[in-house]
Amino acid sequence: MAAENLTLGKALNSGLRKAMEDDPKVIMMGEDIGKLGGVFRITDGLQKDFGEDRVIDTPLAESGIVGTAVGLAIRGYRPVCEIQFDGFVYPAFDQIVSQLAKMHYRSQGQVRLPVVIRIPFGGGIGAVEHHSESPETYFVHTAGLKVVTCASPVDAYWMIQQAIASDDPIVFLEPKRRYWEKGEVDTAAPAAQVFPLHASRVARPGTDCTVLAYGPMVKVALDAATAAEEDGRALEVIDLRTLSPLDLTPVYESVRRTGRCVVVHEAPATLGMGAEVAARVTEECFYSLESPVLRVAGFDTPYPASRLEEEYLPDLDRVLDAVDRSFGW
Amino acid sequence: MGATVTRARTTRGEPAAPGGAPEMVQLLTPDGKRIDSARDPYGTEYTVDFTDQEYHKLYHDMVVIRRLDAEAEALQRQGELGIWASLRGQEAAQVGSGHALRPQDMAFPTYREHGVLYCRGIDPIMPLGLFRGVDQGGWDPSKFKFHMYTIVIGAQTLHATGYAMGVAKDGKVGGDDGEAVIAYFGDGATSQGDVNEAFVWSSVYHAPIVFFCQNNQYAISEPIERQTRVPLHQRANGFGFPGIRVDGNDVLASYAVTKAALDQARRGQGPTMIEAYTYRMGAHTTSDDPTRYRLAGEVEQWQAKDPILRLRTFLAEQQIAGDDFFQQTDAEAKAASQELRERVLALPDPQPVQLFDHVYPTGSAELDQQRAQFSAYLESFEGGAH
C-alpha cells in the first residue's frame, strides 16, 4: 500500500507524471502549461522535469493545439492537450469533431490518433462567462470520440493514465470545482485492482431510487443520498464515469430494483446526457419503472453571471426535490 | 531526380523588394523557351539540369495524370462517380512539387492532389473509391508518406505542422538526409484560421515544412480578390519565413523551388511558403458551373500558358523527345485511363454492416450492440439481407 491523501488536481498531476515516465512518446501541449504549470497547476513541475520538448507551451490557438496534436499523433506521439477552460474549446471544434474523431474511420483503421483532450469543465467557481460550461454533449454526440470524466482523486489518478494509454481519441473532462477536494489514492495498486476506464460504478448502494451523476455532480448526489437517509430513503448513487460509450448495465440492474431514476448534470437538460439515459432506461426497464426518469440539470439558458450560478447549478435540494417528485408520481 | 538547384547564399535574408511587384520564378516560358536560371526576391537562384529521361518522366506523368483526370470526370458524368474535383491546369505544380519530394518526406494533400498522389506511387484508383462512395480513401498514408485527402479547407495544414514538429522532435532535421513535410492547400484556404495558425506554429517552432499553395485563382466561384489584397506569397513575411511565387504552370520551376524549400526544411532552416501561380482550367468540381462567374476569354488566356503544351514544345524543339515518344506516351495514358475505367466499374459496393467498422481503434460495446441489432434486422427480411 502506498496510499496518499491527494487533492483531485494533484492526483491528475501525479497521473500525468506517471504517464510521461511510462512512455517517452507522451507529450503535453497547451497554453501556460509549462513554467506556470497551467492556470489550475495540473501540469505543475512537469516541464521542469521533462523539458520544453515534452511539455509544450503553445501559441494561443485552440484549433492549433488540437490540429498539431493530430499531426504529432500521426507521427507516433501521444499528445495530451490541455484546453484552458471549457468555453475555449469551441475554436478547436472542427479539429476535434471532423478531424480527430473521424480519421480512424475514414482511413479504414490505418491511422490511429491516441490524443487526449483535457478540459476543466463545469461551474461553481465564481468565474466570468465562458469559464463554467459543460460541453460534454457535443463530444458524446460525435462518433469516434470517447468521453470520460472523473469525480474523485483516485479516479483522476488512474483514469488519466488509462486515457493516455488508450489508442482512442478521448475527451477527458475534469470537474474543476473539485480540483481541491481530497481523497485516498493508492498509487501502487496492482493493475488488476484498478477500475476499468469505460465502466460506471455504484458510488453508494441503496434500494429506493437510483441517482445517476458524473464529474462534479457526483458529490452533490452523494450529499443528497446522505440527506435522504434521514428521511428514511436509501438512494443508490451511480457515477457514470464514461459518457461515451455509456456503461448502463449497472444502471439497468439498479433501476430494476429501485423502480425510480433521477439523472443529475450541470449541462442544460435539452438533449443532455439525462435525455439519452432516460430514453435507454425507459426502453430497458419499462416494466420496472414506478415513475418516469427525471432530470435535474442546468436550465436551457446560457451559463449565467456568477452571482446566479448557485440558482442554475443542480444542488442537494433540487436533487431531493426530484426524488420527492419521483416518489409522488 | 538528379536536378541541381544552385543556391546563391546560405542564410535567409529579407526579400530584395518587399511589397514590390512580385517576381515569379520561371524556368520555362509559356511558349516553351528554357530560361537558364531564375532568382527569387530573397536572392536564391534556381536552375535545373535534368537528363532526357527525367524530362521524359515529367512529361509522361503530366500527360497520364491529365488523361486519368479526364476519365474520372467522364465517369462522373456517366453516373459512376458521385463527384470529381478536376486538377486540369495544375499538372505542373503537382508533378513538379511531387517529384521534388524525397521518399522520406511526408505530404498532406487537399482533395485535388491527384497528381501528387500519382507521384507518390499510389494506385490512381484510390481517390476514385472516395469519389464513388465505396470508401473514404483507401491508401495507407504511412506507407506512401502521403496523408489522406482532407476536405475541410485548410485543416490539413495543422496536421502537417504537427507532423513536422514530430520530425524535429525525432531528430530527423539538420542534415541533407533529413525529413521534410509539405502541406498542400489552395488560395481560398489562406483565409482560414487553421492555415494562419499553421503559419504561426511552424514559424514559432521552426518546423521543417513547406506550405505549397496552389493559387488557381478561384475558390469555387470567388476570385482571388475575395481572399487577399496582397500577393499571397507575401503573407509569409509577416509570419517570419520566406514566401516565393513560382510559375505553377512551369513544371521545371515548380520542381526547383519546391526542392530548394524542402531541402531548407530538412536542413533545419525552417518553413517556406510557395505560391504556385496557376489556373483551374475546369470547374471546381463536377457540381460546379464556372460559366456563371468567369469569362471564356480568361480561360483562353490561360490555355495559352498550358503546362503540358509548353514542355512538349520545349522537348520537341530541343530534340529531347520525338514523335515516337509523344505517341507512345499518349498511348500509355489512354491505356491507363481505360484500365482505370474498368477497375472503377468493378469496384465492389461495401456490405451494409461495414458501416460499423473502424469507428474506434479499441472498439465499443455500444457499437457492437448496434451492429448486432442491425444485422438481425437485415436478416429478418425474407431470404436474408435485403
Q: Do B276 and B362 fall within a single domain?
A: no
Residue B14 in this model has a pLDDT that exceeds 60? no
Residue A66 is placed in which grid cell?
A: 488540437
3-state class (DSSP) for residue A4: strand
Domain that holds residue B305: 38-345
3-state class (DSSP) for residue B320: coil
Residue B384 is placed in which grid cell?
A: 436474408
Q: Do B135 and B174 fall within a single domain?
A: yes
Residue B11 in this model has a pLDDT that exceeds 90? no
pLDDT digits over A132-146, tens only?
999 999 999 999 999
In a domain, B6, yes or no: no
Cα A256 to Cα A288: distance, rounded to the nearest angstrom: 5
Residue B91 in this model has a pLDDT that exceeds 70? yes
* Cβ–Cβ below 8 Å for A73 and B360: no
In a domain, B12, yes or no: no
pLDDT category, B320, cuts 50, 70, 90? very high
- Give the nearest partner residue to A108 out of B135, B155, B198, using CB atoms: B135
Q: Do B357 and B330 fall within a single domain?
A: no
Cα B40 to Cα B20: distance, rounded to the nearest angstrom: 13
Region A113-122: what's the mean pLDDT? 98
pLDDT at B3: 60
Rounded to the nearest angstrom, the gap between the alpha carbon of residue A172 and the centroid of all alpha carbons in its chain is 6
**B140 CB within 8 Å of a chain A CB:** yes
As to burial, measured by CB atoms within 10 angstroms (0-12 exposed, 13-18 middle, 19+ buried), residue A177 is buried
User: Cα-Cα-Cα-Cα dihedral of B115, B121, B124, B126, to 10°?
Assistant: -110
Region A243-268: what's the mean pLDDT? 98
* Cβ–Cβ below 8 Å for A71 and B160: yes
In a domain, B222, yes or no: yes
Residue A41 gets the label, from left (phi > 0), alpha (psi -120 to 50) or beta, of left
The ipTM (two decimal places) reads 0.96
Residue B328 in this model has a pLDDT that exceeds 90? yes
Region B314-327: what's the mean pLDDT? 98
**A157 CB within 8 Å of a chain B CB:** no
pLDDT category, A274, cuts 50, 70, 90? very high
Residue B211 in this model has a pLDDT that exceeds 70? yes
B205 min Cα distance to partner chain A (Å): 9
pLDDT at B8: 47
In a domain, B340, yes or no: yes
Number of independent structural domains in chain B: 2
Helices (H), B101-240: 114-119, 126-132, 141-144, 155-169, 193-205, 235-239
Q: Do B296 and B369 fall within a single domain?
A: no
A98 min Cα distance to partner chain B (Å): 8
Residue B19 in this model has a pLDDT that exceeds 50? no
Nearest to A323 by CA among A250, A243, A259: A259
With CA atoms as reference, the chain B residue closest to A60 would be B197
How far CA A233 is from CA of A203, A210, A259, A320, B155, in Å, comes to 16, 11, 13, 10, 54
Q: Do B378 and B292 fall within a single domain?
A: no
Residue B18 in this model has a pLDDT that exceeds 50? no
pLDDT category, A191, cuts 50, 70, 90? confident
Q: Do B296 and B364 fall within a single domain?
A: no
pLDDT category, B383, cuts 50, 70, 90? confident
Q: Do B223 and B102 fall within a single domain?
A: yes
Nearest to B105 by CA among B49, B144, B149: B144
Cα A120 to Cα B94: distance, rounded to the nearest angstrom: 44
Q: Which of A80-84, A298-302, B6-10, B250-254 has the lowest mean pLDDT?
A: B6-10
Cα B296 to Cα B299: distance, rounded to the nearest angstrom: 5
Could you give all domains of chain A from N- to C-terminal order, each with its CATH number? 3-193 (3.40.50.970), 201-328 (3.40.50.920)
Residue A41 in this model has a pLDDT that exceeds 60? yes
pLDDT digits over A146-185, tens only?
999 999 999 999 999 999 999 999 999 999 999 999 999 9
Written as one string, the DSSP assignment of B259-300 is HHHHHHHHTT---EEEEEE----S-SSTT--GGGTS-HHHHH
- Give the nearest partner residue to A75 out of B167, B197, B359, using CB atoms: B167
pLDDT digits over B239-297, tens only?
999 999 999 999 999 999 999 999 999 999 999 999 999 999 999 999 999 999 999 99
Between residues 27 and 46 of chain A, which touch chain B (CB distance below 8 Å)? 27
pLDDT category, B384, cuts 50, 70, 90? low
pLDDT at B246: 98
In a domain, B8, yes or no: no
pLDDT at B23: 74
Q: Do B332 and B372 fall within a single domain?
A: no
Residue positions of A annotated with a catalytic role: 131
Task: Collect all residues with Cβ–Cβ distance below 8 Å to B89 and sequence separation of at least 6.
Answer: B216, B249, B278, B279, B280, B281, B282, B302, B306, B307
Q: Do B372 and B297 fall within a single domain?
A: no
pLDDT at B136: 85
Region B120-147: what's the mean pLDDT? 94
**A80 CB within 8 Å of a chain B CB:** no
Residue A225 in this model has a pLDDT that exceeds 90? yes
Q: Is the dihedral of CA A13, A14, A15, A17 positive or negative?
A: positive
Q: Do B151 and B109 fall within a single domain?
A: yes
Q: Do B233 and B375 fall within a single domain?
A: no
pLDDT digits over B139-163, tens only?
999 999 999 999 999 999 999 999 9
pLDDT at A192: 87
**A190 CB within 8 Å of a chain B CB:** no
**B169 CB within 8 Å of a chain A CB:** yes
3-state class (DSSP) for residue B186: strand
In a domain, B30, yes or no: no
Rounded to the nearest integer, the mean pLDDT of chain A is 97
Q: Do B358 and B336 fall within a single domain?
A: no
- What CATH number corresponds to the domain at position B273? 3.40.50.970
pLDDT at B1: 66
**A96 CB within 8 Å of a chain B CB:** no
- Give the nearest partner residue to A245 out of B137, B193, B365, using CB atoms: B365
Higher-confidence position of B245 and B8: B245
In a domain, B194, yes or no: yes
In a domain, B14, yes or no: no
pLDDT category, B342, cuts 50, 70, 90? very high
Beta bridge partners of B23: none
pLDDT digits over B234-251, tens only?
999 999 999 999 999 999
Cα B165 to Cα A157: distance, rounded to the nearest angstrom: 29
Nearest to A261 by CA among A329, A199, A323: A323
Region B49-59: what's the mean pLDDT? 98
